[in-house]
Structure 1
Amino acid sequence: MRIAICLLCLSLFPLSAFSQTTTARLPHIRVVLVGTFHFGNTPDKGKINFNDLFSVKRQQELQEFTTQLARLKPDKVFVENEPDQQMHWDSLFSRYQTATLDTTSLSNEIFQVGMRTAKKAGLNQVICVDHQQELPYDQLQAFNQRLDKDSAAQKEIATYELLSLPYPYPKKTKKLASSSLIDYYLYVNSAADLAADQADYFVYAPAYGYGKDYTGVGMLSGWYERNAKIFTNILRKANPRDKLYIILFGSSHMLPLRHYFQNHPYFEVVELSSVLKSN
């Protein structure tokens, strides 16, 4: 009976996924995860004031940054926008290639980093693979409102000693205003700063709930689910013959995306610090 069940499970997967591995080279695609801040023209909480984006100094820094990324010869550059916006970005890219695009009208990282890198690398598009998904912040707020009126719940939560510990991460020690762009990107992609970016999900979310109430888990699982869908969108655009991808997403996406790529047999995560040289 157990053997029959196993055979049934195997039959659910496309046969082509197995047959190709016996006749072709297994893919080995290097992935450079570029965690970014948003350049200020977004409601995303990860935005940072970048008032001098179009200054001579910052534009020179962007040229150097994107030149270094382009030297990696990426086969594809993936960016944080939904697939249904692909035609819009393809149109912008076409105008960018023919110098008919007002580049000062695009003050976001998809153009300033993604499209510049793609053009320098000889590509003709950036690929949109985001998946928008509302996280249950309203449920966290509702939980707090219930908790205010439930003294028994407050007493139980007070016994969760570890969940009551203070915030473990310091404020950012490096500021964009006083850093070169490359140095700031290296900082944003450092292990210490990426850990702080995950605090909302790993430190705060589990604190919402008590007993059999796991309200905060919805936040944590929703975050992983959104990034699993982004990962799947990337897989749908992957070509087994490709050698290297650049994935430009907000830095809060880096931990789950890294987890997915590191555990997929066809990918190798390349640290940004190993391919990017500071000025």
Structure 2
Amino acid sequence: MTYIKTILTLIITLLLTTATTFGQESKPKPKTKILLIATIHFETPHLDKFELLTDDFLAPKRQKELEELTEILKRTNADKVMIERGYSEQKTNDSLYSAYTQNKYKIKVSEREQIAFRLAKKLNLKSVNCVDYYYKLKHDSLVYATAQQKNQMYLFEELGATANNLKQEIDKVVKEGSITDVLKYINKKELLQQNLSLYLKYLAKVGAGENYIGAVAVSDWYLRNLAIYANIVTQVNEKDKFVILLFGQGHIPILKHLLQNNDDFEIVELNSVLK
């Protein structure tokens, strides 16, 4: 009987310990809130086929708008600001940002500096995180050649027409509205979906059933964004309550999908901040 009682005591102790441990493990840890801001490029890098018209973002009117925008974003008390600049460029970026905070560097015409540096300084952050990784879209020529061979050039025509319409819409908002207006406009759900559809609705079809080169080209774009996502999540720690990510509009739909499916994060919609 003593042996049985001992065994029963051990079992009860184990069950109680397991229940306590399980209760502790199941307690949800706080999520990091992340605000994804799709942006236009203030400078013209000549990397995109369908580039927006640029404006003079150093003009007094635009500088005032940038001050107003960053004052609003400052209210988030963000712990980190992340930008579309190569992960390998972090040291150079740190040097530029440090010089800027000491009034020894005049920020360039780039949303990475005009918005992100300005905002980070107001938040008293020590650095601005670089999270980009550039994969060359090396299959472009093969996609075009396949489309010609398979009589699929109409896909490029439809893609071009859609992209041009999107570009003209945004150009109009840039011309007529403030920088805040532009950001609110291009971060609309339907605008983000339209951007992603250029890849999924048109490009992915090229070569389907044979070499799938269109799908391969789309996978190049996804691979770059997966690398960016990896850089984001490895630079966020448990102490970070709020993070702001500033990136070109084309990246945001994919990054948003990836972050939404990581239960360490809670997506903050831009329209809830820029009211």
Q: TM-score range by the shorter chain?
A: 0.7 to 0.9
For residues 258-277 of structure 1, the aligned pairs below 5 Å read: 258-277=256-275
Q: Which residue of 2 aligns with 1:101?
A: 105
Shift of 1:182: 0.4
Please say if 1:35 is aligned against 2:38: yes
Task: Kindly provide the amino acid, as one letter, of the partner of residue 53 in structure 2.
Answer: N
Does residue 231 (structure 1) correspond to residue 229 (structure 2)? The answer is yes
Paired residues, number = 245
**In the TM superposition, what are the counterparts of 1:108-187 in structure 2 within 5 Å?**
108-135=110-137, 136-145=139-148, 147=149, 153-154=150-151, 169=162, 170-171=165-166, 172-173=168-169, 174-187=172-185
Aligned counterpart for 2:55 among listed residues 51, 73, 77: 51
Is 1:206 the equivalent of 2:242? Answer: no
Q: CA deviation at 1:219?
A: 1.7
Distance in 2 (alpha carbons) for counterparts of 1:165 and 1:108: 31
CA contact (8 A) 1:29 1:267 kept: yes
Could you tell me the TM-score, scaled by structure 2's length? 0.81
Aligned-partner Cα distance in 2 for 1:273–1:62: 17
| Contact 2:173/2:181 (<8 A) preserved | no
For the structure 1 residues 246 and 47, does the alpha-carbon distance in structure 2 shift closer, same or farther, using more than 3 Å as the test?
farther
Three-state SS of the structure 2 residue aligned to 1:53 is coil
Where 1:91 maps in the other structure, the secondary structure is: helix
Deviation at 1:67, TM superposition (A): 1.2
Partner residue in 2 for 1:3: none
What is the root-mean-square deviation of aligned Cα atoms in Å? 2.5
CA distance in 1, matches of 2:207, 2:250: 23
Given that residues 42 and 55 in structure 2 are in contact (C-alpha distance below 8 angstroms), is that contact kept between their aligned partners in structure 1?
no
Assess, with a 3 A threshold, how the Cα gap between structure 1 residues 261 and 54 changes in structure 2: closer, same or farther: same
How far apart are the structure 2 equivalents of 1:96 and 1:44?
A: 27
Q: Partners of 1:58 and 1:207 in 2: how far apart?
A: 41
1:244 is aligned to 242
- Identity over aligned pairs, percent: 33
On the 8 A contact 2:36/2:270 being kept in 1, the answer is yes
1:65 is matched with 69
Residues 214 and 90 of structure 1, relative CA distance in 2, 3 Å threshold = same
Aligned to 1:15: none
Asked whether the 8 Å contact 2:70–2:115 carries over to 1, the reply is: yes
Q: Give yes or no for contact 2:205–2:215 (8 Å, CA) kept in 1.
A: no
Q: SS of the counterpart of 2:96?
A: helix
Q: Secondary structure at the match of 2:85?
A: coil
Deviation for aligned residue 1:24: 8.4
Q: Distance in 1 between matches of 2:239 and 2:28?
A: 9
Q: CA deviation at 1:81?
A: 1.0
| Distance in 2 of aligned mates of 1:189 and 1:63 | 20
Contact 1:70 1:121 in 2 (8 A): yes
In the alignment, structure 1 residue 74 sits paired with structure 2 residue 78: yes
1-structure distance, mates of 2:69, 2:228: 25
Instruction: Determine the C-alpha separation between the residues in 2 that align with 1:234 and 1:164.
Output: 33
Report the 3-state secondary structure (helix = DSSP H, G, I; strand = E; otherwise coil) of the residue aligned with 2:244: strand
**Could you tell me how far apart the structure 2 residues matched to 1:233 and 1:24 are?**
27
Whether the 8 Å CA contact 2:66–2:115 is kept in 1: the answer is yes
Q: For residue 83 of structure 1, what is the aligned residue in structure 2?
A: 87
| Structure-1-length-normalised TM-score | 0.80
Larger Rg: 2
How much has 1:141 moved relative to structure 2?
2.1
